[in-house]
Amino acid sequence: MSFAAILRIALGALRVNKMRSALTMLGIIIGVAAVIVMIAVGNGARARVEEQIRTLGSNLIIVFSASSTFTGARSGAGSMQTISEDDAYAIARELPEQVQTAAPTLRGSGQVVAGNANWSTFFYGVTPEHFEAREWDVEEGRFFDAAEVNGAAKVALIGKTVATSLFGDESPIDQVIRIRKVPLVVIGVLKAKGQNLSGQDQDDLVMLPISTARKRILGATALAKSRAVGSMYIKVRDGVDMKLAEDKVRELLRQRHRLQPGQDDDFNLRNLSEMLQAQEESSRVMATLLAAVASVSLLVGGIGIMNIMLVSVTERTREIGLRMAVGARGRDILTQFLVEAVTLALIGGLIGVLLGIGGSYAIGHFAAWRVELSTTAIALAVGFAAAIGIFFGFYPARKAAALSPIEALRYE
């Protein structure tokens, strides 16, 4: 018997019991849809984590001043200014093989005023190297240069959030803003970076030359009287091992700070590559776990197919005996029942794919979660559904093929 004839007979048998066939496919439909949705959600979460970390800059090490201790109570990182501009310049100068650039950073907060509008935000005193380290470009205007840093020029760059809050749709370029009554000319608007891992808006800031922040805005504070900074961004050259670069930076800083062996660091290092790897691994494990849980539905669907096929073999015993009596071979019967099982699984898989894609987009739209559909996951889910049809349909098909024609014809 030709395969086309076997396929026609199998499909006809499925059409006879449409409701039972639909209920049999339900487990496969739910399983495939669940696998696709869970993998899409997991991939979206991982991509979001990668995106957020990369907004800080790639190959980046951040150095923070250490925490201070008073009467046994430790304050937060950066509460004691232990690193300086000179440390940043020394790192760039003495570690040229590992470090591309090092950028010292001062931070303060205050009210920014422009005309009748005002906005509370953070301001950062930086050098031109900061934008290279953070891989941050301007959307409009320009960066300040070394001459403006050396001269403590009254210029500033603002983030998109500040630009919108103070100027609306109007261009901020060449407009004057005031921080602590110090007038600053806006020379650029930074490109949007969005939120970081802690949910902080990275575009809600003002950046100005570090000398301007130190001399003109911070004024007579202890921070302004020294060259101390709260943090520095170190961009490691491409191809250089981040752990090696981190060790080199730590060794140089300990030497410059005259720390003895066994003495704790008076600074904190944060390797963003390690953070990225940890977050990626966490997201990958979660996505795998979700997919594994969803795959249970596929196994349940496969068991349902086996159950229904066994019932079908029992109900059609006389039909099987009659077909064998007129010349059908055992392998023809085996192929017919396998085709029925695989057809159920594949149709259920295709419907599940459509529901999975639709469900993924629905979750992304209504729950505001990022989802990323994977063609590989879709293909695997459908392939797994077909494999389940073969695996769980083989036993009923073999049982049908092994029936004796005489005994089958006598079956009541």
Q: DSSP string spanning 217-255?
A: ISTTSHHHHSSEESEEEEEEPTTS-HHHHHHHHHHHHHH
Is pLDDT of 223 > 60? no
pLDDT band for position 163 (50/70/90)? very high
Q: What is the pTM of this model?
A: 0.61
pLDDT at 72 (0 to 100): 44
What integer is the mean pLDDT of 251-279?
Answer: 83
pLDDT at 73 (0 to 100): 41
Is pLDDT of 74 > 50? no
Residue that the structure tokens 């010292």 belong to: 104
Spatial separation of the C-alpha atoms in residues 24 and 345, rounded to whole Å: 9
Over the stretch 327-351, which tens digit does the pLDDT of each residue have? 777 777 788 778 888 888 888 888 9
CA-angle at 173, arms to 167 and 177, nearest 5°:
60
pLDDT at 235 (0 to 100): 92
What integer is the mean pLDDT of 5-19?
Answer: 70
Q: What are phi and psi of 168, to 5 degrees?
A: 60, -130
pLDDT at 117 (0 to 100): 92
Is pLDDT of 315 > 70? yes
Is pLDDT of 285 > 70? yes
Torsion of CA 317, 318, 322, 324, to 10 degrees: 20
Instruction: Encode 142-151: b = buried (16+ Cβ within 10 Å), e = exposed.
Output: ebbeeebbee
pLDDT band for position 19 (50/70/90)? confident
What integer is the mean pLDDT of 290-314?
Answer: 76
Is pLDDT of 159 > 60? yes
pLDDT band for position 170 (50/70/90)? very high
pLDDT band for position 364 (50/70/90)? confident
What integer is the mean pLDDT of 269-276?
Answer: 74
Spatial separation of the C-alpha atoms in residues 7 and 12, rounded to whole Å: 8
Average pLDDT, rounded, for the chain:
82
Is pLDDT of 412 > 60? no
Spatial separation of the C-alpha atoms in residues 167 and 235, rounded to whole Å: 33
Spatial separation of the C-alpha atoms in residues 101 and 20, rounded to whole Å: 68
Percentage of the chain modeled with pLDDT above 90: 32
Percentage of the chain modeled with pLDDT above 70: 82
Q: What are phi and psi of 232, to 5 degrees?
A: -145, 145
What integer is the mean pLDDT of 126-153?
Answer: 92
pLDDT at 197 (0 to 100): 62
Q: Which of 34, 134, 81, 59 is nearest to 360 (CA)?
A: 34
Is pLDDT of 76 > 60? no
What integer is the mean pLDDT of 2-17?
Answer: 68
